[in-house]
Amino acid sequence: MDPLKQKFFEKSQLLRTEIKSLLKEHGDKVVGEVTLRQVFGGMRGVKSMIWETSELDAVEGIRFRGYSIPELREALPKKGGEPLPEGLFWLMLVGEIPDEEQIKWLSDQWTSRINVPEHTFKAIDALPEGTHPMTQFSVAVTSMQTTSQFAHRYSEGLSKTEYWDPVYEDCLNLIARLPRIAAYIYRKNYHGGMHIQPDFTLDWAGNFAHMLGIPGEDFKSLMRLYMTIHADHEGGNASAHTTHLVGSALSDPYMSFSAALNALAGPLHGLANQEVIKWIFKMTDALGTTQPTHEQIAEYVKSTLAAGQVIPGYGHAVLRRPDPRFTAQKRFAEDYIQDSDIVNTVWKVFDVVPDILKGLGKVKNPWPNVDAHSGAILVHYGLKEYSFYTVLFGVSRALGVMAATCWSRALGFPLERPKSVTMNWVRNFLEENN
Ligand code: CMX
């Protein structure tokens, strides 16, 4: 058994035993109540799932196995000054910071698993011109289901205690292939199908940057940071929760991850990263300048709100402070980028939007989220095709949700099946409880 798999197996068996005895003794303890507002309001704050890989605090932001983003930047092995996503995946899967040798092993593993089935490229090519890159990405991931070791072994008869093993293999294979598929979609759609072969000497994110065809070491560093900070945001967000739900039916990792991509493709979730840049380009076009003033931006924000639209990149269902993932990208831009109109505009938007949103009196979090900053840096490096941005988010998100999927199968989590009620049930409930 490979060293990561062995470690994961040992740790998961210990936790499985702990959960068994914990539930025997404390299974009936009440952890919270559910209000009618939560029933109608998207289940905000309802504790209903175990998600080991990361935890979100409304004020502090995300912690991956206890490490905040600035702490991760210090603790994880780095290349070009930024953390390697290999390190984060290792940390999320087994709860330990890997050493250089372990990172190298995982990088080599992903390189050795990079081959994408030929029919996946054909499936992408079969889609009509103008198909959104997220649709292409989702179709590509679904098409790889034919290679699922879990689906194959399940059909032959697989013991429940062994589910985790082929799921681990599927998750590693899937993660290894994603940069290749995403780069294929990018080069096909925006560079006339001039594809770039992988460079097997590079790390996972560095190779992704290489295959996208964006030159320079700084862009490789950006991809390492980008792939690290977008990876996971505890279990309740739409893409993670979708992975959890679909996986709980024992749909294999390709099926559950493509479902996650379909959730990520919503404008209130991952698609917000394209919407932010689209909105900024629209604003600068309308104003006729790439250097709008604070006053001009404020007027444009108000007109967006007056049209009944949200300001993309601002607000969050859980966070109540500026997102540390926004701050990490701002720090990157301060370190690596001088005098960029688009980056300066994002910073001016940050100066202006929170006060305006606070003034509405209903927005619970007026601060920027992860999507407010990412596009400006990508534009700076020449990746201007914003319809592609959510694909980048998706490649990264696989790290967290696939690590969590390994845990779900190893811990033997059951089919997810919450209770819905009808309006009649609500009316009767209110009559009885008046
Ligand atoms: N601009 C304008 N209005 C906003 C707003 C924003 N950025 N954020 C919240 N509001 C509004 C809501 O639309 C809601 O209005 P109504 O009561 O009229 O329906 C009200 O404020 C209360 O919403 P909330 O409780 O503060 O926020 P939710 O938990 O319901 O929604 C989110 C969270 C992210 C969907 C919302 O803030 C939003 O639409 N933001 C813009 C889209 C975005 O950036 N999404 C990316 C999130 C991060 C990610 O997943 O990638």
CATH number at residue 165: 1.10.580.10
In this structure, the answer to whether residues 99 and 211 fall within a common structural domain is yes
pLDDT average, residue stretch 80-107:
97
pLDDT average, residue stretch 424-430:
98
In this structure, the answer to whether residues 340 and 376 fall within a common structural domain is yes
Q: Is the CB of 365 under 6 A from ligand 1?
A: yes
Residue 356 CA to ligand 1 centre (angstroms): 14
In this structure, the answer to whether residues 197 and 264 fall within a common structural domain is yes
In this structure, the answer to whether residues 148 and 193 fall within a common structural domain is yes
Query: Taking 90 as the threshold, does the pLDDT of residue 244 lie above it?
Result: yes
Query: Taking 90 as the threshold, does the pLDDT of residue 260 lie above it?
Result: yes
Q: Which residue's alpha carbon is nearest to atom 29 within ligand 1?
A: 317
In this structure, the answer to whether residues 212 and 339 fall within a common structural domain is no
Assess if residue 260 is contained within a domain: yes
Q: Is the CB of 268 under 6 A from ligand 1?
A: yes
pLDDT average, residue stretch 32-46:
96
Ligand 1: atom nearest CA of 323 is: 48
Angle subtended by helix axes 341-360 and 324-336, to nearest 10:
150
In this structure, the answer to whether residues 228 and 243 fall within a common structural domain is yes
What is the pLDDT confidence band of residue 384, given thresholds at 50, 70 and 90?
Answer: very high
Assess if residue 198 is contained within a domain: yes
* Residue 174 DSSP SS3: helix
In this structure, the answer to whether residues 233 and 324 fall within a common structural domain is no
C-alpha 181/C-alpha 262 separation (Å) is 16
Range(s) of the domain holding residue 295: 273-380
Q: Which residue's alpha carbon is nearest to atom 32 within ligand 1?
A: 316
In this structure, the answer to whether residues 165 and 246 fall within a common structural domain is yes
**Pocket residue to mutate for ligand 1, from 46, 62, 264, 310, most atoms within 8 A of Cβ:** 310
Assess if residue 89 is contained within a domain: no
Q: Is the CB of 85 under 6 A from ligand 1?
A: no
Percent of the chain whose predicted confidence (pLDDT) is above 70? 100
**Pocket residue to mutate for ligand 1, from 346, 362, 374, 390, most atoms within 8 A of Cβ:** 362
Q: Is the CB of 236 under 6 A from ligand 1?
A: no
In this structure, the answer to whether residues 266 and 131 fall within a common structural domain is yes
In this structure, the answer to whether residues 211 and 295 fall within a common structural domain is no
Residue 366 CA to ligand 1 centre (angstroms): 9
Q: Which residue's alpha carbon is nearest to atom 21 within ligand 1?
A: 363
Assess if residue 17 is contained within a domain: no
- Catalytic residue list: 269, 316, 371
Query: Taking 90 as the threshold, does the pLDDT of residue 15 lie above it?
Result: yes
Q: Which residue's alpha carbon is nearest to atom 1 within ligand 1?
A: 310
CB 334 within 8 A of CB 385: no
Contacts with 169 (C-beta within 8 Å, 6 or more apart), sequence order: 149, 150
Assess if residue 53 is contained within a domain: no
C-alpha 39/C-alpha 418 separation (Å) is 11
Q: What is the DSSP string of 96-142?
A: S---HHHHHHHHHHHHHT-PPPHHHHHHHHHSPTT--HHHHHHHHHH
- For the chain, counts of helices (H) and of strands (E): 20, 4
Indicate which CATH number applies to the domain containing 314: 1.10.230.10
In this structure, the answer to whether residues 262 and 280 fall within a common structural domain is no
Query: Taking 90 as the threshold, does the pLDDT of residue 202 lie above it?
Result: yes
The distance of Cα 275 from the centroid of its chain, to the nearest Å, equals 16
**pLDDT digit string, tens, across residues 348-378:** 999 999 999 999 999 999 999 999 999 999 9
In this structure, the answer to whether residues 223 and 166 fall within a common structural domain is yes
Assess if residue 19 is contained within a domain: no
Q: Which residue's alpha carbon is nearest to atom 46 within ligand 1?
A: 269
Assess if residue 85 is contained within a domain: no
Query: Taking 90 as the threshold, does the pLDDT of residue 434 lie above it?
Result: no
pLDDT average, residue stretch 115-130:
98
- DSSP secondary-structure letter at 323? -
Assess if residue 239 is contained within a domain: yes
C-alpha 227/C-alpha 210 separation (Å) is 14
Q: How many domains does the chain have?
A: 2
